[in-house]
Amino acid sequence: MVDVLALVEARLRTALGEPDARAAVTFLGTDRIEVLRFTEGDIVRYATLGMSAQPMADPTSALADPVKGPRAELVLSVRAGLADTDKVLRPLAVLAASPQVEGLVVAPGASLDLGEPLWPGAPFASVLVAEPGGLVEDLELDAPLDPVRFLPLLPMTSNEAAWKRVRGAAELEERWLTRGTDLRDPLRKSVALD
């Protein structure tokens, strides 16, 4: 059997360079999730490693397929030095463990809510899962395994999360774009939603 996590880590290193820190978190009844930190200039990227070890299963199916099904890892990018964003390691691991714990299939357009700030003092307690492929290309695996997708996470304020629930992910992303919102600013305020 192919070592999916070794291939995932190699893809992350190819795309983002060498990690300058890593932490591991294990939750009761789940596989170990690591979070790697990559620093490039004034941008810090946090990437999960472990979420893709098992395919995500449709919560409505009676049996989880141990081979087929979507696989993903999460990537969060923020500006360095503005907030204590290294405290995001555990919350990211919680999000990455959600397919195993809650039976979620994490896909673009989804909201993931932590119920607490992503890091101390963060104005964000949830994230929007964005489309993959821009920063880290999908990792193709041998059939019948699905490719591993590297899903960017975009932090949302509580107002943005509520607006997204009503109007949808595409409209929120359009609002961010038209207002020139710096989604990597760890201290940013909510975009105007009027």
Q: Which one, of 174, 147, 149, 144, lies nearest residue 160 by Cα?
A: 174
pLDDT at 62: 60
pLDDT at 158: 94
> Which two structure tokens, joined as six digits, stand for 93?
């691991």
pLDDT per residue, tens digit, the chain (194 aa), is 578 999 999 999 999 999 999 988 887 777 889 999 999 999 999 999 999 998 988 666 666 666 788 999 999 999 998 889 999 999 999 999 988 888 888 999 999 999 999 999 999 999 999 999 889 999 999 988 899 999 999 999 999 999 999 999 999 999 999 999 999 999 999 998 87
Q: Which residues pair with 82 in a beta bridge?
A: none
Q: Which residues pair with 44 in a beta bridge?
A: 39, 78
Look up tokens 């983002």; give the residue.
16
pLDDT at 45: 97
The string of DSSP codes covering 15-58 is: HH---SEEEEE--TTS--EEEEEEEETTEEEEEEESGGGS----
pLDDT at 27: 78
Tell me the residue type at 39. T
Look up tokens 């300058």; give the residue.
20
> Which two structure tokens, joined as six digits, stand for 100?
């195993």
Q: Which one, of 5, 28, 1, 17, lies nearest residue 136 by Cα?
A: 17
Four-point Cα dihedral 59, 64, 68, 69, nearest 10: 20
- Output the pTM of the full model: 0.93
Q: Which one, of 95, 7, 100, lies nearest residue 55 by Cα?
A: 100
pLDDT at 44: 97
Question: Quick one: CA dihedral 168, 171, 173, 175, positive or negative?
Answer: negative
The string of DSSP codes covering 59-84 is: TTSSS--SSSS-EEEEEEEEETTSS-
